A and B are shown apart, each in its own frame.
Chain A
Amino acid sequence: QVQLQESGPALVKLSETLSLTCTVSGGSISSYYWSWIRQPPGKGLEWIGHIYDSGSTNYNPSLKSRVTMSVDTSKNQFSLILSSVTAADTAVYYCARTHRRGWDPGWFDPWGQGALVTVSS
């Protein structure tokens, strides 16, 4: 069965760049969308964006100016870069396989275990 694992620094300094990688095991990265979703401590879920295996992306407009996603199909990995971070970016960051409804993105399953990233000065 497909499993996802986030990796990256747990601590990022104010105004610097957050960088996370999600490694997919037990299945191919092809033919799916792959999403990043975050959850600030004690709060709800926010979709950051997704990338297709071709490299095409779609980002949440609320974060679009600061987000870049990429995919490396040879390594079965995809990545998130979030620039100019503030304290409001402190959250658990999840990666998730995104099922398709036709050609459009749909629901998320499975999810990685999540990576807590804290922004500090």
Chain B
Amino acid sequence: EIVLTQSPGTLSLSPGERATLSCRASQSISINSLAWYQQKPGQAPRLLIYGASSRATDIPDRFSGSGSGTDFTLTISRLEPEDFAVYYCQQYGRSPLTFGGGTKVEIK
């Protein structure tokens, strides 16, 4: 199975700052088959990005995804108060579908 490693585990930033989250795969992910989700406490995950760089419906353009092969990045250009949450990457290039362990973005 493809193992996804997210780093850092926790990112401490202030509102207005830029957040850069990494997701590294144990093997190359075909056709950029990678998605990103945001999860707030007590809520289900919400899709942000699919196809490594395509924003989901109603997702603000401060969220962007990039990368290919084994290295992918989620960037939040300027953090808003509602962006402090846990972020997960997920690959769908090969079964079983797998998730990374998550990156928590917390208020500094």
On whether the beta carbons of A45 and B92 are closer than 8 Å, the reply is no
| Given A44-B99, A46-B99, A101-B31, residue A107 in contact with residue B45 (CB < 8 A) | no
A106 touches B50 (CB 8 A): yes
User: Majority SS of interface residues in chain B?
Assistant: loop
Given known A-B contacts A113-B44, A114-B44, A107 and B92 have beta carbons under 8 A apart: yes
Q: Is B72 part of the binding interface, using a Cβ–Cβ cutoff of 8 Å?
A: no
Number of interface residues of B (CB under 8 A): 24
Residues of B within 8 A of A99 (CB): 50
Contact check, A94 vs B92: say whether CB atoms are below 8 A apart.
Answer: no
**Interchain CB contact under 8 A, A61 and B96:** yes
Q: Which of A47, A101, A107, A110 contacts B98 (CB 8 A)?
A: A47
With A44-B88, A44-B101, A45-B45 as known contacts, state yes or no: A107 contacts B35, CB within 8 Å. yes
Q: Does A94 contact B102, Cβ atoms closer than 8 Å?
A: no
Residue of B nearest to A50 (CB): B97
- A-B contacts, 12 listed (Cβ < 8 Å): A44-B88, A47-B98, A58-B95, A101-B92, A105-B92, A105-B95, A106-B35, A107-B50, A107-B90, A107-B92, A108-B90, A111-B46
